[in-house]
Amino acid sequence: MKTAKELQATPIAGETHQVHNVASDLHSYNLFTTDAALLEGVKREGGEWGVGEIAAFGEKCGKPEYLELGFLANKYTPELDTHDRFGNRVDSVRYHGAYHALMKSALEEGLHSQPWTNPREGAHVVRGAKAFMQSQVEAGHGCPVTMTFASVPSFRLQPEVAAIFESKILSRGYDPRNVPIDEKQFITVGMGMTEKQGGSDVRANSTMATPVNQPGAGQMYSLVGHKWFLSAPMCDVFLILAQTTAGVSCFAVPRWLPDGTKNALNVIRLKDKMGNKSNASSEVEFRGAQGWLIGDEGRGVPTIIEMVSLTRFDCMGASAGLMRAGLANAIHHCKQRAAFGAKLIDQPLMQNVLADLQLEYEGAMAFSMRMARALDLKDNDEHEANLARLATAVGKYWICKRAPQHSYEIMECIGGSGVMENSIYPRLFRESVINPIWEGSGNVQCLDVLRAIGKTPAVLMAFNAELNKARGGNAILDTYLNNLNQQFMQLNPADMHGLQYSARTMVDQMALAFEASLLVRHAPAAVGEAFCSSRLAAQGHHNYGALPKGMNVKAIIERADPAIEKA
């Protein structure tokens, strides 16, 4: 037996065991070329011309130092300074450098502007693909990027106001300084709609706006009131809903006034959110803050609705991105970790789980990419416009709602290490519960579906026409579509109580049918067959990992493997 002195001299002194059978961090992979669902979606929906630039950005997103920015931006969260040390009101939010690095990268890549500066077929597809990859690195900073992107159609409704801001909104660059717009080349845009007493019911807003001089579109108004949520308070200008004598109206409210003085937009506090930690969300008070009226008085909701629609599109795509980030990490883990005599990736039940999770992502990404194509074409194609009007609400509801359970299941694949805060999984889970609520909760989306169908029946015809393109490709899907069509035919506008009561049931089925139709038409047979068999047949509506027998799970998992190039 060795003496204590001899043991201390041994090279392994103090070690109790060797570390083995554990996974490593996933990095140094291309987020685009290893993702079959995204790669195929981009090519299919009109973005093939942008494959090279997306792939270059996908390589950047997979670098370890870039992925680390996401961890740092969430570890060192924003802090609010209402006043400087001399007592001057500044309303300034301080962020970690990682947040600024991510913002700079996103804006230089054109994630806020590409479809507006280069409006060609596939522009929304290419921009969407890059934005969805960026969300896998870090989702919080995507909020101001998305709002800046989505604000442009609303500003263009008031050309003289757009002339003040648009060129700086669209420029590819980032300037985080808290200074007047005249001193900047690049600016970002925020949005403030909800108030504490109304939430999604913006017609209950109490903030009042009165003309500074003359009333009317493009004129300056003074706002007095509050906003319960104003995300990204360090944006340079905000689209704000407030009441006038004519009703809810939309205003462009800058942080700094044209004369170089600070606007009376006071940040009261930052929200202590469970997720989206890197992004500062705030409560604000308007104490005579001035802003330009966009559109006519009383038309605030129609004025801002295009912005809302675009942010909803980004919510669904970002939720799909969260699914992809978790699944890529889970497969990487399962290829290294062994239990009960075999690698996890080779065990039948884990294969069932991973394949099922990939099917969920396949459907979500196919839906998101199809909506990107609709955005590209809707201005010149009535079918695409009607499809975008209805399907965006359906997709936002469904995909965002599916993401939290997907993120949790990923954590279970990892086991105990999956809930450790120094891993990516808790952050993905916390982010996943934000998107279902932001830009309209599930009930709001379902009621919007009913509203769209009731107001414009053509939107349902367009949606149904899209579904029917898959007829004959899968017998299970055909039966499902027949049953869904029966429900559509039985819709009774006079029974509003019944329609609202059952709205989620109908929208659930619409979403599943839409995803299934896309996958049956475009994905490999193994994917379409497994999706329909597991979600549309009698054994549907299960926990992940209950795929029926006979599915080609290995082929499905291979499509998701981040170590395999698909390009």
Largest CA-CA distance found in the chain, in angstroms, rounded: 96
What is the identity of the amino acid at 434? Answer: I
Partners of 227 in the β-ladder: 284
Cα gap 512→299, rounded to integer Å: 34
Query: How far is residue 272 CA from its own chain's centroid?
Result: 20
pLDDT of residue 9: 55
Cα gap 254→292, rounded to integer Å: 9
Residues contacting residue 381 through CB under 8 Å, at least 6 positions apart: none
Cα gap 94→278, rounded to integer Å: 11
Cα gap 206→191, rounded to integer Å: 16
Question: What is the residue-level pLDDT of the chain in tens, covering all 567 positions?
Answer: 666 555 555 556 578 888 988 989 999 999 999 999 999 999 999 999 999 999 999 999 999 999 999 999 999 999 999 999 999 999 999 999 999 999 999 999 999 999 999 999 999 999 999 999 999 999 999 999 999 999 999 999 999 999 999 999 999 999 999 999 999 999 999 999 999 988 888 888 999 999 999 999 999 999 999 999 998 999 999 999 999 999 999 999 999 999 999 999 999 999 999 999 999 999 999 999 999 999 999 999 999 998 999 999 999 999 999 999 999 999 999 999 999 999 999 999 999 999 999 999 999 999 999 999 999 999 999 999 999 999 999 999 999 999 999 999 999 999 999 999 999 999 999 999 999 998 889 999 999 999 999 999 999 999 999 999 999 999 999 999 999 999 999 998 889 999 999 999 999 999 999 999 999 999 999 999 999 999 999 765 678 999 999 999 999 999 999 999 997
pTM of the predicted structure, to 2 decimals = 0.95
Q: Are 516 and 477 in contact (CB under 8 A)?
A: yes
pLDDT of residue 11: 58
Backbone angles phi, psi at 343, to 5 degrees: -60, 145
Structure tokens at 436: 């279902």
Q: Are 394 and 66 in contact (CB under 8 A)?
A: no
What is the identity of the amino acid at 218? Answer: G
Q: Which residues of 545-557 are buried (b: 16+ CB within 10 A; e: fewer)?
A: bebeeebebeebb
DSSP for 88-114, written as a single string: -EEEEEE--HHHHHHHHHHHHTTTTTH
Q: What is the residue whose two structure tokens read 């989505």? A: 150
Cα gap 540→217, rounded to integer Å: 52
Cα gap 263→192, rounded to integer Å: 15
pLDDT of residue 8: 56
Partners of 97 in the β-ladder: none
Partners of 240 in the β-ladder: 192, 251
